[in-house]
Structure 1
Amino acid sequence: MQDITLTSSYWASGDQPPLWELSLGELLETLARECPDRIGFAESLPEKTRRWKYSELLLCGQRAARALLAHFKPGDRVAVWAPNSAEWVLLQHGAALAGIILVTVNPAYLEAEVCHVLRASGAVGIFHAAQYRNTDMAAIVRRLRAQIPSLGYSFDLADWDGFLNLENPDCELPRVAPRDIVQIQFTSGTTGKPKGAQLHHLGIINASRFAAQRARFPEGGVWATAMPLFHVGGCAGSQLGAMTSRGTFVLQPTFDAADMLRIIEQEQVQHLHAVPTMVIRILEHPDRGRRNLASLRTLMSGGSPLPESLVRRAREELECRFTITFGQTELNGVVCQTSPDDTVERQTSTIGRPSPRMEVKIADPASGAVLPLDQPGEIWARGYQVMHGYFNLPEGLDGSITEDGWLKTGDVASMDASGYLRIRGRLKDCIIRGGENIYPREIEDVLAEHAAVKEVSVVGVPDSQWGEVVAAVIRLNPDVARPDVQELFFYCRSRLAGYKAPVQWFFIEQMPTTTSGKIQKFALREKICSAGLRPEPFEKPSRIPEP
């Protein structure tokens, strides 16, 4: 990357390279025309790999679009609540071609969480899996349809062919503009209740394209991932990173280290997108030495800090380079990224430089003023990547977007003279576990309803495998019998997705607070890390009973 010397913590956007003014449907049509026989998408399972040429992918997307338009109209919001699958991807393309807004729902969500997303988005239909882990998704959807009058249709993805048969072959597909909304993805922002970020075609296509280019992903290359499709990093960053380079996107539905090693060898994967936890498991798996991984050239990672030892080990043992990404749903994906040519120190201590065509500054959170180099402040970003606000919430009303278009990320960082950003903390106080954002307020609200809990604060604590894990610090109600932490765990687990349930539990006599009575979470984290607070004995159950 070119040498740059900044005089303040401000990165200008520039006007190069040019943006692709395309919708997702137009991108797929272009690829089907220019490289019809190239494999554009593959779903790889141990027992079978399904493949689609770009020409076939377009035809499947068009059929899905016509079937959707038999029940919905352009602009309608339709949810998908299912784990990774080929059908999820085909639905995504069908919705994009039909001008229908896809509302992505984490498959780990339980009934109350799904209900909130459906109500908040005004979804008029839902596609779902029959079940996921111990959750009977079909039964939950039946109950939710009875509770939500606007939720007119539901479809089981297991009967995908039956759904496609509903198409009207004579249906004319609408014109979809690049700046139209393509998806609504729910993220908690600064509050405990998730809000629907409205992503647009222009944003997800170009952010993914520029991330692939900085990663040195080759034209026509093979890109594999098990990243969740409900997240912008999976459905956009990985899939569209491959597509904008006329490459092959290989999806592993559920991450398994041994099977990912098979995929890398079998599909001649050149680029792997994986959170640090996945990289660790691949490196440590006994099958690694028996697989030919010579095709692998680049690892893309992010979502939580990468230890220097992990980067060095991956570079030496896998003989590949790293690119570290930093992004946000509200910014349609990656907004800062390291280059594979960067030093190990920059790969592990920074999140790289801003992406092309994005204006970034380190700002005083109160005034928005640009701060001096190397001084921590909030990351603000402006440009084509900024979302179209939160659904049903006027742009800027919650303070996330300023009147002049700056999006406040809530992340604290500093910028050096070369334009590299270093994360210093988070204003939004979220916990990042294995690349998954967890928002303490939601867990605190659940625990606060337990009769034995007088006061609770949920914080993230460092963990060598997950980056951070969820810890609950509780002041007990003296009028109620002291609860067992196993009981508290199952209390959370019955109401929240499994990854949100605390795995470390602490009881405290008095919470550290400010003069105004607000709990000082940083003080709790310091006490935990310095062993000033001792955790209660707890072993996470290997099998979780059905809620």
Structure 2
Amino acid sequence: MPGVASYASGVSEVPLLGDTIGDNFDATVARFGDRDALVERVTGRRWSYRELAADVEAVALGLLGLGVAKGDRVGIWAPNCAEWVLVQYATAKIGAVLVNINPAYRVHELEFVLNQSGVRTLVAAAAFKTSDYAGMIEQVRPDCPGLLDVLLLGGADWDALVAAGREGDPAGLAAVQGGLSADDPINIQYTSGTTGFPKGATLSHHNILNNGFFVGELCGYTEIDRVCLPVPFYHCFGMVMGNLGATSHGACVVIPAPAFEPKATLAAVQEERCTSLYGVPTMFIAELADEDFDGYDLSSLRTGIMAGSPCPVEVMKQVIERMGMREVTICYGMTETSPVSTQTRADDSIERRVATVGRVHPHVEVKIVDPETGLTVPRGNPGELCTRGYSVMLGYWAQPDKTAEAIDPARWMHTGDLAVMDADGYVSITGRIKDMVIRGGENIYPREIEEFLYTHPDVLDAQVIGVPDAKYGEELMAWVRLRPGAETLTAQAVREFCTGRLAHYKIPRYLHVVDEFPMTVTGKIRKVEMREKSVELLGRND
């Protein structure tokens, strides 16, 4: 449709919410106090909204008793658990900025995030799977002078905080909560940075409460919905689209397991009669492939969200037909936009839900521009997707220069994604301007891994690219040049060097040793050529 600009604005009769997360939560408690709010399957613990409010208040008063004040940063480093939810809403009620720390982080990343955001108080699991969180915290603590308190979940300090909070003065909390603005920063989420270290996307109550609310609106949520969340809380998918999407509608959050497990997820849907299920495509693929899949009763499912990477057609068909998720929606977004900018609707065709990421979200604008000129391109033409509105972050924490690179003077967030908008306003993501790799729904920026590989004694230079992978969509491959005198280097040796120092999903699976990288005449490395060569080397031409 030449001549019509690739621009769309999300007209909505439903107004934006103007309250803080704490006030919105309190309103839900007042309306639906006796309804289920939270279920933790592993421990069997359950909360009504009234019970959840009491525990959130205890944690909030406990944090105030520790001296945590509005604007102070409180880190949380744990897999999915009920306490994660308590800390999320407690910090919102006192105006502390919750800093989400990826459970896969190791000491290198942990120390950076604690210092860069200035975390004062850290709530953490003691351990999970192969991660000794307590040990890693002790390792970095001498180098984190701003870190005053560490509260290990299940430990004496955490229990003491909650006990003290139960004896606290609710009037004091109400006074603090009453002094908060919806535009205050309330959450920092780290995204892998192209500069070699993550950047802290800083989000307000207004950003994430509204995004969660409107995601829930497009899923048709009411107080009778029960939302199964196998996706991580440390990410917007879990804590915004999941938790805030549910609590802003009085729906119930079901935590199937601390981390994704297909059987635990399917059992949670069956036994809790969940109406909605979230996941990245690889999660749905794993659930559908479970040998006991046909034995689960999933008849309660109605809707859900698939996001993180494109969904194969056959997977979408099976999610609708075999899982009964007739109203499943596809979301597109990024942490910096709270996260969702586009979403398919419940009545969109399977083709729309597979080939596109839907239409613009309510109260949001999107446009597709020529990356060179910045001008909006006609519909049907590719360009960079930009988004603007209430959802755009306040900025990167303490990095105004990086913020200015991402958000232009007119407050458009430049996503770095190449996209096309069709005549009906549906957006398709066609590639990435940046070299970001999406592995199983995790966004990975190669530069951070390249910087780390430079610290290997045998590596002179390193370049990291994404290569096609049947399971994860993309896998990481490192191309390296060796230092003079270095004998050789194997992929296994690189993995061992990275293990324990980089999150597992950032560790390259493949390695290719070269004398030189392919370069342009101006000296820029040709990653496109590297990817093509890698596909041949790995036999991934199909």
TM-score for the superposition, normalised by structure 2? 0.94
Residue 79 of structure 2: aligned partner: 83
- Measure, in 1, the Cα distance between the counterparts of 2:3 and 2:122: 49
Question: Are residue 296 (structure 1) and residue 301 (structure 2) matched?
Answer: yes
1:308 pairs, out of 307, 313, 321, with 313
- Measure, in 2, the Cα distance between the counterparts of 1:517 and 1:213: 49
1:286 maps to a residue whose letter is E
1:251 positional shift: 1.3
- Measure, in 2, the Cα distance between the counterparts of 1:382 and 1:69: 35
How has the CA–CA distance of structure 1 residues 180 and 455 changed in structure 2, closer, same or farther, with 3 Å as cutoff?
same
1:432 positional shift: 0.9
How has the CA–CA distance of structure 1 residues 263 and 15 changed in structure 2, closer, same or farther, with 3 Å as cutoff?
closer
Q: How does 1:368-407 map to 2 (within 5 A)?
A: 368-394=374-400, 397-407=403-413
Residue 322 of structure 2: aligned partner: 317
2:48 maps to a residue whose letter is K
1:375 positional shift: 1.2
1:233 positional shift: 0.8
- Measure, in 2, the Cα distance between the counterparts of 1:214 and 1:127: 33
CA contact (8 A) 2:73 2:119 kept: yes
How has the CA–CA distance of structure 1 residues 469 and 532 changed in structure 2, closer, same or farther, with 3 Å as cutoff?
closer
CA contact (8 A) 2:193 2:448 kept: no
Question: Are residue 143 (structure 1) and residue 139 (structure 2) matched?
Answer: yes
- Which shows bigger deviation, 284-293 or 139-148? 139-148
CA contact (8 A) 2:2 2:380 kept: no
1:162 pairs, out of 151, 156, 160, with 160
1:346 maps to a residue whose letter is R
2:233 pairs, out of 229, 234, 237, with 229
Residue 422 of structure 2: aligned partner: 416
How has the CA–CA distance of structure 1 residues 96 and 460 changed in structure 2, closer, same or farther, with 3 Å as cutoff?
same
1:320 maps to a residue whose letter is M
Secondary structure of the residue that 1:163 maps to in structure 2? helix
Residue 263 of structure 2: aligned partner: 258
- Measure, in 2, the Cα distance between the counterparts of 1:125 and 1:212: 31
1:378 positional shift: 1.0
Residue 68 of structure 1: aligned partner: 63
CA contact (8 A) 2:368 2:421 kept: yes
CA contact (8 A) 2:333 2:339 kept: yes
CA contact (8 A) 2:77 2:124 kept: yes
Per-residue deviation, residues 199-242 of structure 1 (Å, max 9, x unmatched) = 11111111111112222334421110111111011111111111
How has the CA–CA distance of structure 1 residues 286 and 209 changed in structure 2, closer, same or farther, with 3 Å as cutoff?
same
Q: How does 1:309-458 map to 2 (within 5 A)?
A: 309-321=314-326, 322-394=328-400, 397-458=403-464
How many residues align? The count is 529
Per-residue deviation, residues 312-337 of structure 1 (Å, max 9, x unmatched) = 12222223223111111111121111
Question: Are residue 203 (structure 1) and residue 207 (structure 2) matched?
Answer: yes
How has the CA–CA distance of structure 1 residues 6 and 141 changed in structure 2, closer, same or farther, with 3 Å as cutoff?
farther
TM-score for the superposition, normalised by structure 1? 0.93
Per-residue deviation, residues 336-391 of structure 1 (Å, max 9, x unmatched) = 11123222221111111110000110012243211111111111111111111111
2:446 maps to a residue whose letter is P
Residue 42 of structure 1: aligned partner: 39
Question: Are residue 473 (structure 1) and residue 473 (structure 2) matched?
Answer: no
Secondary structure of the residue that 1:124 maps to in structure 2? strand
CA contact (8 A) 1:224 1:273 kept: yes
Per-residue deviation, residues 249-305 of structure 1 (Å, max 9, x unmatched) = 111222111111111111001110011111011101122111111111123111011
2:273 maps to a residue whose letter is Q
How has the CA–CA distance of structure 1 residues 320 and 103 changed in structure 2, closer, same or farther, with 3 Å as cutoff?
same
Secondary structure of the residue that 2:277 maps to in structure 1? strand
Residue 216 of structure 2: aligned partner: 212
- Measure, in 2, the Cα distance between the counterparts of 1:57 and 1:195: 32
Residue 117 of structure 2: aligned partner: 121
How has the CA–CA distance of structure 1 residues 235 and 6 changed in structure 2, closer, same or farther, with 3 Å as cutoff?
farther
CA contact (8 A) 1:389 1:395 kept: no
CA contact (8 A) 2:491 2:509 kept: no
Secondary structure of the residue that 2:267 maps to in structure 1? helix
Secondary structure of the residue that 1:474 maps to in structure 2? strand
1:92 positional shift: 0.9
Secondary structure of the residue that 1:362 maps to in structure 2? strand
Residue 542 of structure 1: aligned partner: none
- Measure, in 2, the Cα distance between the counterparts of 1:20 and 1:381: 20
2:197 pairs, out of 190, 193, 196, with 193
2:517 maps to a residue whose letter is M
Residue 57 of structure 1: aligned partner: 52
Question: Are residue 23 (structure 1) and residue 29 (structure 2) matched?
Answer: no
Q: 5+ unaligned residues in a row in structure 2: which ranges?
A: none
1:413 positional shift: 0.6
Per-residue deviation, residues 168-204 of structure 1 (Å, max 9, x unmatched) = 5126121222111111111134432111111111111
1:241 pairs, out of 216, 223, 245, with 245
- Measure, in 1, the Cα distance between the counterparts of 2:239 and 2:444: 20
1:100 pairs, out of 96, 101, 109, with 96
CA contact (8 A) 2:223 2:252 kept: no
CA contact (8 A) 1:444 1:457 kept: yes
1:156 positional shift: 0.5
Identity %: 38
- Measure, in 2, the Cα distance between the counterparts of 1:6 and 1:51: 56
Secondary structure of the residue that 1:33 maps to in structure 2? helix
Residue 483 of structure 1: aligned partner: 489
CA contact (8 A) 2:270 2:298 kept: yes
What RMSD over aligned residues (CA atoms) do the two structures have, in Å? 1.9
- Measure, in 1, the Cα distance between the counterparts of 2:238 and 2:112: 23
Secondary structure of the residue that 2:512 maps to in structure 1? strand
Secondary structure of the residue that 2:69 maps to in structure 1? coil
Question: Are residue 134 (structure 1) and residue 133 (structure 2) matched?
Answer: no
1:12 positional shift: 2.3
Q: How does 1:519-530 map to 2 (within 5 A)?
A: 519-529=525-535
- Measure, in 1, the Cα distance between the counterparts of 2:25 and 2:250: 10
CA contact (8 A) 2:107 2:136 kept: yes
- Which shows bigger deviation, 262-271 or 132-141? 132-141
CA contact (8 A) 2:275 2:300 kept: yes
Q: How does 1:258-277 map to 2 (within 5 A)?
A: 258-277=263-282
CA contact (8 A) 2:100 2:188 kept: yes
How has the CA–CA distance of structure 1 residues 293 and 14 changed in structure 2, closer, same or farther, with 3 Å as cutoff?
closer
Secondary structure of the residue that 2:210 maps to in structure 1? helix
- Measure, in 1, the Cα distance between the counterparts of 2:211 and 2:517: 43
- Measure, in 2, the Cα distance between the counterparts of 1:465 and 1:195: 28
- Measure, in 1, the Cα distance between the counterparts of 2:403 and 2:503: 29
